[in-house]
Amino acid sequence: MITPLEIQNQEFATKLRGCDPQEVKHFLYLISEEFANLLENNHVITRELSVLRARVGDMEDRDKILKDTLISAQQIKREIQENASKEAELTVREGQLKAETLYEHARKEVDKMARQVQEVRRVRNDILAEVEMMVTRFAHFVDAERQMSVESDKLRSFTSEANKNEPHVLNRVRKESGA
C-alpha cells in the first residue's frame, strides 16, 4: 500500500515539454494530504467496524443465549405444568382413596352401631318381657297373698266363732262345705 509520504516524495523524470514540476509537487502534496485523511478515516471506520462487529457478535451471543433461555424456560414451563397436572391428579386420586376409605370405615361403623342398637333393643325387649313376667308374678303373688289373707281372716273369725259356739259352727262348716 502507498503511504502519503511516498506520494509526497515521488519524483518524476523530466522531459521536454513536461509538466511544471512545482504544480506536480503541489498536486502530489494535495493528493498525499487527501490520501492521509482517507487513510485516517479508513482507520477510524475500521476501528468502529471492529467495535460494531464485536457488539454485533455480543448481541448475537446474547440473542442466542436469550433464545436458548426462552426455549429452556418454555421447556421448564411445560415440565412444571406436566408435573403440576400429574401432582394434581395424584392429589385427587389420594383424596378419592381417602374419601373411599373414610366412607367404608364410616359405613362399617354405622353397620356396627346398627347391630349394637338392635342388640340393645333386643336386650331391652328381653328385660321388659322379664319385668312384665315379674310384675305378673308379683300381681299373682299379691292376689294370692290377699286371697290367703282373706282366707286367713275367715279362718280366724271362724275359729273364734267356733270357740264360742262350737256346735253351731260345726253345722255351719258342714253347710258351707256342702256335706
pLDDT at 22: 81
Backbone angles phi, psi at 41, to 5 degrees: -60, -40
* Rg of the chain in Å (alpha carbons): 69
Mean pLDDT score, 19-24: 79
Going by C-alpha positions, the residue among 41, 39, 47 that lies closest to residue 4 is: 39
Whether the pLDDT of residue 172 is over 70: the answer is: no
Question: pLDDT per residue over 27-59, tens digit each?
Answer: 888 888 888 899 999 999 999 999 999 999 999
What CA–CA distances, in Å, run from 78 to 70, 81, 119? 12, 5, 60
Amino acid letter at 147? Q
DSSP state of 10: -
Whether the pLDDT of residue 70 is over 90: the answer is: yes
Distance of CA 18 to the CA centre of its chain: 103
Question: pLDDT per residue over 99-148, tens digit each?
Answer: 999 999 999 999 999 999 999 999 999 999 999 999 999 999 898 888 88
